[in-house]
Amino acid sequence: MIKIVIFDVDGVIINREKYFSEKLAERLNLNLKEEVLPFFTGPFQECLMGRKDLKVEIVPWLVKWGWVGTVDTFLDYWFEEEKVIDQRIINLAESFRAHGTRLFLGTDNEKYRVKYLMNVLGLRDLFEKTFGSSTIGFRKDKPEFFQYVLNELEDYSEDEILFIDDDLRNIELAKEFGINAIHYESFDKLMESLNLYSELKIH
């Protein structure tokens, strides 16, 4: 019986037509491959793991990019650009919680965006806790991530947990740990997959 559902954030709860790096390149008239992506594939990855601080690492890049403003105004712009919440997912999660299911987030995100998601966007009102890569030190495509989650939820067995994510690699790894997992491709397909779990009542 499913007692816990862990939702991915980007690609499930939050929808986006473009990556922020693409939007940034367009806004500042930068070359995406040569001027923008080196940050996101380099220093930013350390921030995702919680090994480095985004507000420190971004400073020299803002100079290179010609950003007019402070670090905080840049992060505000960044996070505001990626806040399109799928209300259907929120409604679904609320339905689960109304029937006693515990809800968590599982995300590859650095600490400032996690804080933004929970406090500014208000996800804290619905989800108990975020299992984030910046806290755990590993992304969801690493076994250490799921081992950490299971240790935190030690009062529950693996088959009482359901994980929903749009990255198939993460889904396959979760299943290796015995966790129920659904690969998110669309909302309609998710609802079809959820029919397998009759205890997850939806109203």
Task: Tell me the average confidence (pLDDT) per consecutive run of 10 residues in the chain, 203 residues long.
Answer: 95 90 96 97 97 98 97 96 93 94 97 95 94 97 98 96 97 97 96 83 53
> What pLDDT is stored for residue 203 in this prediction?
44
Task: Tell me what pLDDT residue 78 has.
Answer: 96
- Please check whether residues 183 and 108 belong to one and the same domain: yes
* CATH number where 125 lies: 3.40.50.1000
Q: Could you give the number of structural domains in the chain?
A: 2
| Cα–Cα distance measured from residue 203 to residue 192, given in angstroms and rounded to the nearest whole number | 15
Verify that 190 and 90 share a domain, yes or no. yes
Residue 110: both structure tokens together: 């650095």
Answer yes or no: do 9 and 24 share one domain. Answer: no
The pair of structure tokens assigned to 6 is 């862990």
Residues 64, 89 share a domain: no
Residues 178 and 138 occupy one common structural domain = yes
Give domain status of residue 203, yes or no.
no
123 with 62, same domain: the answer is: no
- The C-alpha atoms of residue 2 and residue 181 are separated, in whole angstroms, by 11
Phi, psi dihedral angles at 115 (to 5 degrees): -60, -40
Q: Is residue 155 domain-shared with residue 72, that is, in the same domain?
A: no
The answer to whether residues 189 and 104 belong to one domain is yes
* CA dihedral for 82, 12, 139, 152, sign (positive or negative): positive
Tell me which residue range forms the domain holding 41: 20-81
Check residue 175 and give its pLDDT: 97
**Quick check: helix, strand or coil at residue 150?**
helix
| Shared-domain flag, residues 56 and 92 | no
**199 assigned to some structural domain:** no
Considering 81, 105, 128, which residue would you say is the last residue of a domain? 81
